[in-house]
């Protein structure tokens, strides 16, 4: 989702690996994230794949290719892999308001 979709709420600089897990402020360890994704992610490095029940490392925007793990259909973010599904679930990417915003943007 582009930052312009939520002009009143600036995106956050997110630690991909939180400081409590030895993440740093090095630009290679940071990513831009909407406030909701950042809040839901918290310090998590993994989550549960809702399809298999396995604990899976979250999508890493510095290593993983977005289109390999996700697709967007009718405003919904679909996880295509265990990491995609676990990340979409943890970050609550398909909350009603977020889906509505994506639908309005396309």
| Structural domains counted in the chain | 1
Instruction: Give me Rg for the CA atoms of the chain.
Output: 14
Give Dmax (Cα) for the chain: 39
Average pLDDT over residues 67-85: 98
Who has greater pLDDT, 74 or 3?
74
**Domain span including residue 70:** 3-105
Residue 20's pLDDT is 92
pLDDT at 30 over 90: yes
């Amino acid at each position: 989702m582009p930052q312009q979709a939520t002009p009143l709420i600036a995106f956050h600089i997110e630690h991909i690996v939180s400081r409590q897990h030895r993440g740093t402020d090095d630009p290679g360890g940071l990513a831009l994230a909407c406030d909701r994704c950042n809040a839901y992610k918290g310090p998590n490095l993994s989550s549960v794949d809702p399809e298999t029940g396995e604990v899976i490392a979250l999508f890493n925007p510095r290593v993983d290719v977005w289109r390999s793990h996700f697709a967007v259909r009718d405003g919904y973010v679909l996880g295509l892999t265990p990491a995609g599904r676990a990340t979409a679930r943890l970050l609550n990417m398909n909350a009603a308001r977020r889906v509505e915003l994506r639908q309005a943007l396309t």
